[in-house]
Every structure is written in C-alpha cells, then in structure tokens.
C-alpha cells in the first residue's frame, strides 16, 4: 500500500501538532489570568 | 420603560444604515477572525460531501450507504455543542469563548489530518470512525464562532454581523469545492485523502488569530471604543426582560435548557431550523450525486459544479441578514422560503439541460439556500438573555445538525426511485424540499414573535411577546 506524498503528510502533521501545543498552552495560561482579573473586577463593581 | 428604550434591549437598537459605518476596528478584527474560522471549518465539511462519488467508488457503496457519511458527519456535530458552548457563557461570553474555540478547532483539524494517511483510513469503517470523531469536535466550533461574532459587534448591526459572518459557510464551501477540484485534477482521484490534510491547515492561522485577538484586554477596548462612538455591545449593555429582575447569577444546565426551550419563539426557530437546515444538507448531499450520476460530469467537475449555489448563498446572507435588521426577521424568513420553492422548481426543470443552466439555477436558488441561518441566530440572540446566549446558539446548531437525518429519507427516496443512476428519486427529493419550505412559511408566521423591524407591533403570531422574552414597547 503506497501512500502518496507520505513525507509531506508527516511533516505537515507534525507542524500542525507543534502549533496546536504552543497555542493551546499560551491560551490556557492567559485564560487563567483573565478569569481571575475579570472576577476580581466584577467583585469590585458589586 | 424609558430606561429600556434608551439602553436595555437590543430590539430598540436598529442601525440606521444597512452597511455599518464607524464601527471600532477591534469589532471588525474579531468579526473577521470568526468569519475566517467559520470558512476554515467549512472546508472540511464540504470535503465529506463533494468527495462522495469518489469514496463511493473506492469502497463500493450504494447511494443510501454513501449518504450515511455526510448524514452521520453532520448529525454527530450536535452532541457536544450545548455542553461545550454553555461552558463559555459562564463569564458572559466575550473573551471566555476563546480557549474552548481554539481547543476544539485544533483537535478536529488534527483528526481530519489523520484521514490523509492511507494506512489509517484504508477501510470504509475506519474512514467513518475518523469522520465521526472529527464531527464531534467540529460541532461546537460553529456556535462558538457565531456567538463570538454577535458578542464582539455592536448590537445595532447584529443582523449584518451574523449575515456577514455566515458567508464563511457558503463561500468557504465554494473555495473548498474549487480547491478540491484542483487537487483532484493534479493528484488524481486516488489521492483524495490528502485533501483533508491540506484543508485543515487554515485552522492553524485561525487559532493563532484567536489567541491574539479574543482577549479580555481587547474586550475592554471594544466596550470603550463602542461607547465612544454611540454603539452598544452585547457583553456590556444588553439586558433582556428575563435578566432585569435577577442578579448576574449562573444557571444550571437544566434551568438553562428550560429557559431556552420554554421560549416559544426560540423553540419555533429550533423546529424550523431542523427542517430548513436539514434541507440544506439534503441539497449539499444529493447534488454531487445528481450531477455525477445523472448529469454525467467527472468527479473533479462535480466537485466544482456542485457548489455554485454557495456563491449567491453568501450574498443572500449578507443582504437578508442586514435587511432583517430593518424589515424584520420574520418578513425576511417568509420571502426567503418562498424564493426557495421557486428556485427548487427551476432546479428540477432546468438544471441538467446545460452547464449554463446548471450554474444559473444554482445561482438563483443560492439567494435563498443560506440566507435563513444568520436570521435564526439573530432571533435567538435577540430573545436569549446573556446567561444562555451561547446555549441558545448551540440549540440552533443541534437542530441544524439533527436536520441531517433528512439525508436518510433522501437516500431512501433515491433508492426507491431506481438507484443513484435514475433521475426519478432525485426529483422526489426536490419535491420534498419544496414542501418543507412552503410549510415553514406558516410555522414561522404563526408560532414566533417578530423581534425587530416593520412588523414588530403588527405580528400574526399566536404566541405572546412576554413568553418570548420580548419587551412591550
């Protein structure tokens, strides 16, 4: 079973995976900070 | 009520222009990100539909079985949508939708990329499993980006924002169809799997864009810039009757569902959305088979020619979405549904006469195929309070995805009409579409309340405004 352009497929998949891990980590860290900040400011207003 | 008229309800804020002017840059930035995200989701969705003739041949599938792929793919986008979307409602939407959107987007892109490897998707069963997992993650992506478009754009132009945003679907479909046709013509039909990997790549760009744009800092900038220019944002200004007497409390899932489906206008949108969007899946599912087997076009030509209705589909969304802010949501629905009945008749009578007729009938029909969706979302966003806006959007999507069950009937009609090479079953499918649209005119007219526009006060609905969470002005 020959797989057409297998090398390209592996390369693109690995790039996708790395970008996913980086973006997900950054977003998760930011989300934590933002939620704390948002709740603190809502409490202040109340 | 004076305060309500000045500030509280979205319904009293109708933009004076069809095309908005003076909107803050950050609102456009967020709308564009949500738009591209929706287009990127669509690239993968359309591949499952337009590649049907190719994988039907490779796996040796009948019309009924091959239509199970788009049916399951669409239907299974529903189960996770309400839960995951509702989680993003808990801080009032806005920035809090970012992380979930990135996670589901990147995960479905990775799963779709796995289809590209022949060793993983070599059998119909394995291909179906990957398609199903992809669908489960893809589903929540749609209500999340729709809610994002409504959260970040001034409520005065909600219909426009949702209409513009929703063009991501038809125009993404069109680009996806052309890209698929090109890739198949270059690499050959045997390498159809690779297209899934290529079409998942734009999702990377979107994830990075969201990570930088949809933030609390930008949300505060948006609120300030909008207020400076005389606009109102949903995240800061909107209060509906169900919110006025309560504190900013969270609702349990059960209470949220009760509040959502207890609203007759919202429930009517869900029922109507099931049939109307189901009809869209029917059209998207049967058209490639109709063009390939009855029209006798090649697979690459079919991939390109089966998506022409999406060109005017996108235009219809912008025009009708924006017009619905002025003329009213229900009036827009009624004109669109009637237009579709006429367009479907043209499709049956003339589509396969010539290539020009195939494109021409799709162009006409397309003005009505996609136009209703932003209006469904706009109605739901108009009547759902901020504690359940994301959930309201998700319920619409559940109805939309569940509409894919109509593909079972479609496959059965094609089989009963003599199989995939006989035109009879396809004609029955078109008659079914015409009946659905005609009946929906009456459903919307009598069982939902107008939320904006010319007929706000002169409405033929048999349900009350109070039960629909709409103020008496």
DSSP for B410-429 reads: HHHHHHHTTSTT-HHHHHHH
**Measured between alpha carbons, how far is B242 from B266 in angstroms, rounded to an integer?**
14
Q: Which residue from B minimizes the CA distance to A39? A: B91
Which residues 25-44 of A have a C-beta within 8 angstroms of B? 26-28, 30-31, 34-35, 37-39, 42
**H/E/C letters for each residue in B315-361?**
HHHHHHHHHHHHHCHHHHHHHHHHHHHHHHHHHHHHCCCCHHHHHHH
Q: For A38, which residue in chain B has the nearest alpha carbon?
A: B216
The CA distance from B141 to B437, in Å, is 27
| pLDDT of B326 | 82
Q: Show the tokens assigned to B333.
A: 């629905």
A27/B216 Cβ within 8 A: no
**Contact across the interface for A19 and B91, Cβ inside 8 Å:** no
pLDDT-derived band at B2, boundaries 50, 70, 90: very low
Is residue B47 within 8 A of residue B196, CB to CB? The reply is yes
User: Given a cut of 80, is residue B3 above it in pLDDT?
Assistant: no
Pair of tokens at residue B293: 């087997």
Interface residue of B204, B246, B250, B386 to substitute, partner A, most A CBs within 10 Å:
B204
Span B239-248, average pLDDT = 60
Give B91's pLDDT tier (boundaries 50, 70, 90).
confident
Q: What is the pLDDT of residues B42-55, one digit of tens each?
A: 888 889 988 888 99
Q: Is the pTM of the predicted complex or chain greater than 0.80?
A: no
* In chain B, domain spans: 19-228+250-463
Which residues of chain B lie closer than 8 angstroms to A44, CB-CB?
Answer: none
Quote the pLDDT of residue B247. Answer: 56
List Cβ neighbours of B183 (8 Å cut-off, separation of 6 or more): B191, B194, B195, B198
Band the pLDDT of B118: cuts 50, 70, 90.
very high
Q: Which residue in the block uniquely carries the two structure tokens 């390209």? A: A8
Determine the distance in angstroms separating the CA of B65 from the nearest CA of chain A, rounded to an integer: 25
Q: Which two tokens stand for residue B200?
A: 């998942």
Average pLDDT on B94-121 reads: 93
Mean pLDDT of B69-95: 83
Rounded to whole angstroms, the Cα distance separating A45 from B298 reads 64
| Residue B15: per-residue pLDDT | 54
B157, pLDDT greater than 90: no
Is there a contact between B228 and B104 (Cβ–Cβ < 8 Å)?
no
CB pairs < 8 Å spanning A and B: 81
Instruction: Answer for the pair B389, B147: CB distance below 8 angstroms, yes or no.
Output: yes
C-alpha pair distances (Å), B169 with each of B315, B455, B460: 11, 29, 32
ipTM for the assembly: 0.92
CATH class of B19-228+250-463: mainly alpha
Who's near B66: CB < 8 A, 6+ residues apart? B52, B55, B56, B289, B411
CB contact under 8 Å between A28 and B187, yes or no, is no
Q: In terms of Cα–Cα distance, which of B235, B221, B265, B247 is closest to B463?
A: B265
Predicted pLDDT of residue B401: 87
Model confidence band, residue B249 (pLDDT cutoffs 50, 70, 90): low
CB contact under 8 A, A34 and B103: no
Structure tokens at A25: 């980590």
Nearest CA of chain B to the CA of A34: how many Å? 6
Q: From CA B416, how far away is CA B425, in angstroms rounded?
A: 6
Across chain B, mean pLDDT equals: 86
How does residue B9 score in pLDDT terms, banded at 50, 70 and 90?
Answer: low
Banded model confidence at residue B156, pLDDT cuts 50, 70, 90: confident
Residue of A nearest to B212 (CA): A27
Q: Would you call B295 helix, strand, or coil by DSSP?
A: coil
What digits encode the pLDDT tens for the residues B254-287? 878 888 888 899 999 999 999 999 999 899 888 9
Candidate from A1, A28, A34 with C-beta closest to B118 = A1
Contact B354, B298 (CB under 8 A): no
The CA-CA-CA angle for residues B78, B84, B87, to 5°, reads 145
Beta-carbon count within 10 A of A41 CB: 12
């Amino acid at each position: 079973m020959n797989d057409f352009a297998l090398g390209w497929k592996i390369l693109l998949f690995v790039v996708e995976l790395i970008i996913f891990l980086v973006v997900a980590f950054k977003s998760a860290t930011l989300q934590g900070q933002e939620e704390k900040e948002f709740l603190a400011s809502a409490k202040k207003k109340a | 009520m004076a305060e309500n008229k000045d500030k509280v309800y979205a319904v009293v804020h109708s933009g004076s222009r069809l095309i908005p002017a003076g909107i803050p840059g950050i609102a456009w930035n967020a709308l564009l990100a949500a738009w591209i995200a929706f287009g990127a989701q669509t690239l993968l969705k359309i591949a499952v539909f337009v590649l049907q003739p190719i994988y039907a041949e490779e796996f040796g599938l009948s019309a009924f079985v091959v239509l199970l792929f788009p049916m399951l793919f669409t239907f299974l986008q529903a189960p996770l949508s309400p839960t995951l979307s509702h989680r993003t409602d808990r801080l009032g939407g806005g920035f809090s939708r970012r992380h979930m959107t990135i996670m589901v987007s990147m995960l479905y892109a990775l799963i779709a990329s796995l289809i590209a490897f022949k060793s993983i998707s070599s059998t119909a069963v394995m291909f179906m499993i990957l398609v199903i997992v992809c669908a489960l993650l893809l589903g929540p992506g749609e209500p999340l980006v729709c809610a994002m478009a409504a959260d970040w754009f001034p409520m005065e132009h909600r219909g426009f924002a949702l209409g513009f945003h929703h063009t991501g679907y038809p125009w993404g479909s069109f680009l996806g169809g052309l890209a698929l046709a090109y890739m198949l013509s270059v690499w050959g039909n045997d390498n159809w799997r690779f297209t899934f990997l290529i079409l998942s790549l734009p999702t990377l760009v979107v994830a990075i864009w969201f990570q930088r744009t949809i933030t609390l800092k930008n949300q505060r900038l948006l609120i300030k810039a909008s207020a400076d220019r005389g606009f109102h944002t949903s995240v800061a200004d909107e209060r509906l009757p169900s919110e006025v007497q309560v504190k900013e409390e969270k609702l349990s899932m059960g209470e949220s569902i009760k509040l959502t489906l207890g609203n007759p206008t919202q429930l009517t949108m869900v029922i109507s959305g099931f049939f109307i969007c189901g009809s869209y899946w029917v059209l998207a599912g049967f058209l490639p088979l109709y063009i390939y087997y009855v029209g006798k076009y090649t697979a690459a030509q079919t991939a390109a020619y089966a998506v022409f209705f999406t060109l005017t589909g996108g235009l219809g969304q912008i025009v009708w979405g924006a017009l619905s802010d002025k003329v009213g949501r229900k009036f827009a629905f009624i004109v669109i549904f009637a237009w579709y009945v006429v367009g479907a008749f043209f499709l049956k009578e003339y589509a396969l006469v010539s290539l020009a007729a195939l494109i021409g009938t799709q162009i006409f029909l397309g003005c009505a195929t996609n136009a209703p969706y932003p209006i469904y979302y706009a109605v739901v966003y108009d009547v759902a309070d901020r504690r359940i806006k994301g959930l309201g959007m998700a319920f619409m999507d559940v109805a939309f995805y569940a509409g894919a069950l109509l593909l079972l009937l479609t496959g059965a009609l094609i089989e009963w009409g003599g199989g995939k090479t006989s035109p009879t079953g396809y004609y029955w499918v078109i008659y079914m579409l015409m009946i659905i649209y005609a009946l929906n005119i009456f459903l919307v007219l009598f069982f939902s309340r107008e939320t904006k526009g010319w007929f706000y006060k002169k409405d033929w609905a048999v349900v009350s405004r109070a039960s629909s969470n709409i103020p008496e002005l």
